[in-house]
Structure 1
Amino acid sequence: MEVNLISDTVTRPGAGMLEAMMNARVGDDVFKEDPTVNELENKVADFFGMQAALFFPSGTMTNQTGIKLHTQPGEQLICDKFAHVYNYEGGGVSFNSGVSCKLVDGDRGMMTAEQVKAAINPPDFYHSPLTSLVCVENTTNKGGGACWDFEELKRIRTVCDTHGLAFHLDGARLWNALVAKAETPEQYGELFDTISVCLSKGLGCPVGSLLVGTRKHMEKALRIRKVLGGGMRQAGYLAAAGLYALEHNINRLKEDHRKARELGEIWASKDFVSYVAPVETNIVIFELESKVIDDTQMTERLEKKGIRLIGMGQGKLRMVTHLDYTDQMHDYTCSVIQKLSV
């Protein structure tokens, strides 16, 4: 049996999604004339109670556009040391926007309002970069799919308001947080200046992310997307997958969460595992007793059984559950892990 748990981006469109894609009405989205893209953008904007949204080919481009909207070259954003915008976007913060990152040592990718406040550079001290933006990621990838405390996010919003900072949410896996915490998208729409959401993480789409914010922000974002090469023509075929996913694939995320918890419990029972991050959503991150077995050896052993996972550096391994990870695959994977010994 082949089981791919390296990410929730490895899924393929199912029959229903493919049918929706093939039946999509399309036009030229560079001219804003693709009716299905327009429908998706309006639906996601309404979903969050925000004014407008813009469709992008990738989550990285979406975040990079959000950062460029709120900053000028030479300025600085505040984010946790685990943040995706710092670790996994190819240095785009500096390359695309000329901005540096002030890293905060938070807990599993989540920082406190007090930490944010302490990280702000004095605006009248021209020797240091001007702080202009705070970025948070929910759920946190390197933090093991952790969900932010919404009350802490509100406190950070207050800090941003007090100091004139913009507030951007990398919500690539926000869908998972909404399901796990029984929160509403409108709560997030009220709190953030801009939000990025991904359709290919968790929701099963082949391509696509959206940036959500004010109409003025999206007008500016349209120009930035053009500069970054993100304009697509008959993108409605991809947008149709997003519309289908929003209708059918959000509530089922709780099944991914259940399977991830069960995997985490099995890993935690192994004496050669030194740490398993708390499992709140669909990500399982664990560390091995390096003197007993290292991550390369474990990866190779599991691959021989047809199970793929991914290393995250510093001895950490990650499994991510998703909609193509069937009950049969789950039973098989749990059985293999339970039988592991070193």
Structure 2
Amino acid sequence: MLHIDLRSDTVTKPSPEMRKAMANAEVGDDVYGDDPTVNKLEEKAAEMFGKEDAVFVSSGTQGNLVSILSQATRGDEILIGDICHIFSSEGGGVSVLGGVVMYPLKTNSDGTIDEENILNAVKPDDYHKPKTKLFAFENTHGGLSGIPIDKKASDKMALAAKKAGLRVHVDGARIFNASVALNTSVKDLAEHVDSLTFCLSKGLSCPVGSVIVGEKDQITEARRVRKLLGSAMRQVGVIAACGIVALDSMVERLNEDHENAKKLAVGLAEISKVEINPDNIHTNLVRFKVPENTGFEVAEKLKEMGILINGSYTDLRMVAHYGIDNKHIDKTIESMSKVMNSI
């Protein structure tokens, strides 16, 4: 039976070129700054994003946590979108581990947050209130079918926050998907932000890892926070080698994932009792609705047919990625049609 895993782009397997790079990676002790492969990856990432420095971390969640705790401290407050991943799906880490308060702001349907809402949320200099230190947003926005936020909108939010004296962090787990979809460089998308985290282990298909880019002083502090969290690694070049391959050869192919996601969305839209607007699918995430309280049943029936997806009672998600091709999309649409006819 054909096995199709659409749960996430985190299920991707490293390419043959990555496996070869891992086997041949030159390594050293990264805690001492002696791993040449890690150093090369960090230098490459910083240059791509137009930032002064970068640091390799173990995951996107850790990247966001380290980024925020290197720019805000216990008792400080950050402003953040109310449906972004940092706020809803990272265990409240910045509060639990860092004592940093998260103040949620209404997220618009395009993933942006209104300038007025950002400015009005900044607390006055009053010892009754926490100090507002940082504003964070997400690009692409995973909670909104991976919608990419263009440079104009990104700049507007970042500059509004800076106008209020705040630092700006971007959860750019899928920033390369945004870059490809918008035909805009990641350097341009990150121009006015102080820090950005991007994942190597999602669409770029590495087995593990994320990278934080930012200013030299902030990255120096990020290394301190990374160590505090017990996450400084040793001969990590065997993993970082995959990141170099990914940045060299896996970015442009993301467009294939976007095309497959769009094809999937169009097919799903033609199935009875499936609610989705294909016009809202811009990158590789496909979110859709099924009749109330049938989501788990739909997912279970698809699993029996060899197709894995994620979802809940009504909202379901499928993700296109490296390893998913046209025949997988066709099979998924065909199987979904059979399942919905049985519901």
Please classify the TM superposition score into its range, dividing by the shorter chain length.
Answer: over 0.9
Asked whether the equivalents of residues 68 and 96 of structure 1 are also in contact (C-alpha less than 8 Å), the reply is no
Runs of 4+ in 1 over 6 A off after TM superposition: none
- Which residue is equivalent to 1:316? 315
**Superposed CA offset, 1:285-306 (max 9, x none):** 111121xx61011111111111
Asked whether the equivalents of residues 167 and 194 of structure 2 are also in contact (C-alpha less than 8 Å), the reply is yes
Asked whether the equivalents of residues 86 and 93 of structure 1 are also in contact (C-alpha less than 8 Å), the reply is no
- Which residue is equivalent to 1:114? 116
- Which residue is equivalent to 1:196? 197
For 1:134 and 1:55, the matched residues in 2 are separated by 22
**Superposed CA offset, 1:19-42 (max 9, x none):** 011111011111110000000000
**Could you tell me how far 1:6 is from its partner in structure 2?**
0.5
- Which residue is equivalent to 1:256? 257
For 1:269 and 1:105, the matched residues in 2 are separated by 32
Instruction: Name the SS of the counterpart of 2:219 in structure 1.
Output: helix
- Which residue is equivalent to 1:330? 329
**Could you tell me how far 1:155 is from its partner in structure 2?**
1.5
- Which residue is equivalent to 2:142? 141
Q: Which runs of no fewer than 5 residues in structure 2 stay unpaired?
A: none
**Superposed CA offset, 1:284-340 (max 9, x none):** 0111121xx6101111111111111001x4621111110011333222212222444
Task: Tell me the amino acid that sits aligned with residue 330 of structure 1.
Answer: I
Task: Tell me the amino acid that sits aligned with residue 320 of structure 1.
Answer: V
Asked whether the equivalents of residues 110 and 140 of structure 1 are also in contact (C-alpha less than 8 Å), the reply is no
TM-score by length of 2: 0.95
Asked whether the equivalents of residues 5 and 320 of structure 1 are also in contact (C-alpha less than 8 Å), the reply is yes
Asked whether the equivalents of residues 139 and 148 of structure 1 are also in contact (C-alpha less than 8 Å), the reply is yes
For 1:189 and 1:128, the matched residues in 2 are separated by 30
Task: Tell me the amino acid that sits aligned with residue 310 of structure 2.
Answer: I
Asked whether the equivalents of residues 59 and 208 of structure 2 are also in contact (C-alpha less than 8 Å), the reply is yes
Identity rate, percent? 38
Asked whether the equivalents of residues 78 and 133 of structure 1 are also in contact (C-alpha less than 8 Å), the reply is yes
- Which residue is equivalent to 1:299? 299
- Which residue is equivalent to 1:38? 39
For 1:262 and 1:114, the matched residues in 2 are separated by 37
**Could you tell me how far 1:179 is from its partner in structure 2?**
0.1
Number of aligned residue pairs = 338
- Which residue is equivalent to 1:217? 218
Q: Which runs of no fewer than 5 residues in structure 1 stay unpaired?
A: none
- Which residue is equivalent to 1:47? 48
- Which residue is equivalent to 1:281? 283
**Could you tell me how far 1:275 is from its partner in structure 2?**
4.1
Asked whether the equivalents of residues 173 and 198 of structure 1 are also in contact (C-alpha less than 8 Å), the reply is yes
**Could you tell me how far 1:273 is from its partner in structure 2?**
2.0
Task: Tell me the amino acid that sits aligned with residue 67 of structure 1.
Answer: I
Asked whether the equivalents of residues 265 and 276 of structure 2 are also in contact (C-alpha less than 8 Å), the reply is no
Asked whether the equivalents of residues 288 and 315 of structure 2 are also in contact (C-alpha less than 8 Å), the reply is yes
Task: Tell me the amino acid that sits aligned with residue 116 of structure 2.
Answer: E
Q: 1:74 to 1:276 in 2, by over 3 A?
A: farther
**Could you tell me how far 1:66 is from its partner in structure 2?**
0.7
Instruction: Name the SS of the counterpart of 2:54 in structure 1.
Output: strand
For 1:124 and 1:14, the matched residues in 2 are separated by 52
Instruction: Name the SS of the counterpart of 2:191 in structure 1.
Output: helix
Task: Tell me the amino acid that sits aligned with residue 5 of structure 1.
Answer: L
Does residue 77 of the first structure (1) align with residue 61 of the second (2)? Answer: no
